[in-house]
Structure 1
């Protein structure tokens, strides 16, 4: 039998020796023979077809776990799986294309042209879920302030409550549009101090925070952690926050695909929380008919975005939307506390 060294096989298959060693460890592409004394790997020419298939699928961006499944199938079934995978990639690319177009519109819109008086209609609810013994989330909705916080640690519930309570004064004051981000940043600084005082230096206690502050025509967004904010506009759903998690940073660096991140064992591990990092702050233009959703990861981790979009689109009012979203999370197992705030931007009635 003809044997190929790992170097020769790597050259023939266009896979690096490092990749071949990884695929061996993952039981994706085993060498035909391993020298019992040196541990050196040898391959046969017959393995080149599978190796090239693995290389091509990785160039498509297919996760390793799915490649293993495809390689175990016959040609027709494998072709069907590849076709289905690529259809999903194209769908996700279309969503990102729509988001890019939305952001371009946001950044190039001429300010001050729309004098329509707007207001928010809103509803909030926080649910313990079906597994956790206690609810560590806090959700709040008012005429000017929308907020969701997800506490962690033994004092997680008081931490999330303290963070939201420290912002509630914003709901009772007229918000000047000119310095709204400075006002919100100062309020969040106060919220972080309140959580630090409550935790008493215990680093295991803390909270995430995502909030929107209404100015009468725009929304100011503050976000830190892995709660999320979404915008439903003209039937399309846009996520307007970025998760501050270790796994998301690995996706950003190209070390994981979005699909691999969904099942990663550390997908809930934060690298920023309210007392341990700087929040994201920005202004969000609004339009009549916009529907906003703030939610804890108890929703986003178990209910796909497509389902969230459908439920938000179908619900006639914010309270109905919140109720259906919480029910969907619990129907999916309710493994975590789930909190939702839904707010509609509507024309003010005189």
Structure 2
């Protein structure tokens, strides 16, 4: 079978002539021949499979630039690229699903900014908290900051020549939320504004000799509504112990975690990866995207943990869960958790904040 017209090729591939012209312009599907006088496009039937692949990838929602990459690979490489793309889609979908669930619950309750949330028996809720940081056994300086107050819980892990100043500046900026009334209905906006101020303050301490910055994971307690607002950027973490189960409620912003999200490596391989601490997002030296912002409704009996990677990087989640569940007061819990990090060799600074939700 010889060359066919663009109309015939469109029927063979079930692509519109308009789509075929676009793919030609982008170099995804170049015609076998173009008439030099009329500009009419002719295709080889052998191009049908490539055209169908492009169409399938478009139906997956893959960007055209990435489709071009896939089309240039052999079958095995193309399969790996599609697998990585779909893993990233599922990761993004999971994050959007969590936001959708929150919005559905929020709207279904008919929440009003002036309405408070209480425990199951109508009793107002409060938090008890403790914070602890330690230099560890290897580092000479402690660049981690752990802070807990009546309203703010925060952990920051500084890096670079001025890392200690960077983490302190970030937490100090958020401590401005400790005083004065919280904005009605706009807690996440206020928290985002505070993080922007923290970003400016962190950049202000950079010496220029070596890039400095910090991670930041913080929660603000809204006592009137028994709710916690979370802000997160970097690889410090926040966990929730509820009903005996331990749930991580933040997502690491590291290059290694991106590889896990794309399906390139497994979570087990990530734990031992030599670049596992290489940040993709942070306050200060690393080019940033907006921080993750979420709202969490608190329940009586909840226990929250904020920690730097000095804990999460060396102590398995199972040991963290067991320690959180088995410790009494928050002060006992933070001492026990820091002790686990030290017992594991204390290779890094460690910072922990534990907060319990209970009846007032």
**Could you state the TM-score of these two structures normalised by the residue count of structure 2?**
0.66
**Cα distance change on mapping 1:177 and 1:221 into 2, 3 Å:** farther
Pick from 233, 244, 260: which aligns with 2:253? 244
> Is 2:283 aligned against 1:274?
yes
Give the length in aligned residue pairs: 252
Return the offset for 1:285.
1.1
Distance 1:261 1:347 in 2: 40
Return the offset for 1:203.
5.9
**Cα distance change on mapping 1:102 and 1:209 into 2, 3 Å:** closer
Distance 2:204 2:102 in 1: 39
Distance 1:287 1:102 in 2: 18
> Is 2:327 aligned against 1:307?
no
> Is 2:188 aligned against 1:181?
yes
**Cα distance change on mapping 1:211 and 1:273 into 2, 3 Å:** same
Distance 1:165 1:243 in 2: 23
**Cα distance change on mapping 1:102 and 1:306 into 2, 3 Å:** farther
Provide, for residues 4-48 of structure 1, a one-character-per-residue CA deviation record: whole Å limited to 9, x for no partner.
Answer: xxxxxxxxxxxxxxxxxxxxxxxxxxxxxxxxxxxxxxxxxxxxx
Q: Match of 1:259?
A: 268
Return the offset for 1:232.
0.3
Provide, for residues 131-186 of structure 1, a one-character-per-residue CA deviation record: whole Å limited to 9, x for no partner.
Answer: 11110001100000000000000110011001101111111223234000010000
Return the offset for 1:255.
0.4
Distance 2:233 2:309 in 1: 13
Q: Match of 1:163?
A: 170
Q: Match of 1:226?
A: 235
Match of 2:332, SS state, is helix
After TM superposition, the runs of 4+ consecutive aligned structure 1 residues lying more than 2 A away are 101-116, 200-203
Distance 1:173 1:331 in 2: 41
Return the offset for 1:214.
0.7
Distance 1:176 1:257 in 2: 42
Q: Match of 2:123?
A: 116
Q: Which has more radius of gyration?
A: 2
Distance 2:222 2:135 in 1: 32
**Cα distance change on mapping 1:162 and 1:270 into 2, 3 Å:** same
**Could you state the TM-score of these two structures normalised by the residue count of structure 1?**
0.68
Q: Match of 1:331?
A: 343
Match of 2:283, SS state, is coil
Q: Match of 1:297?
A: 309
| Alignment check: 8 A CA contact 1:106 1:285 kept | no
Unaligned runs of 5+ in 1: 1-98
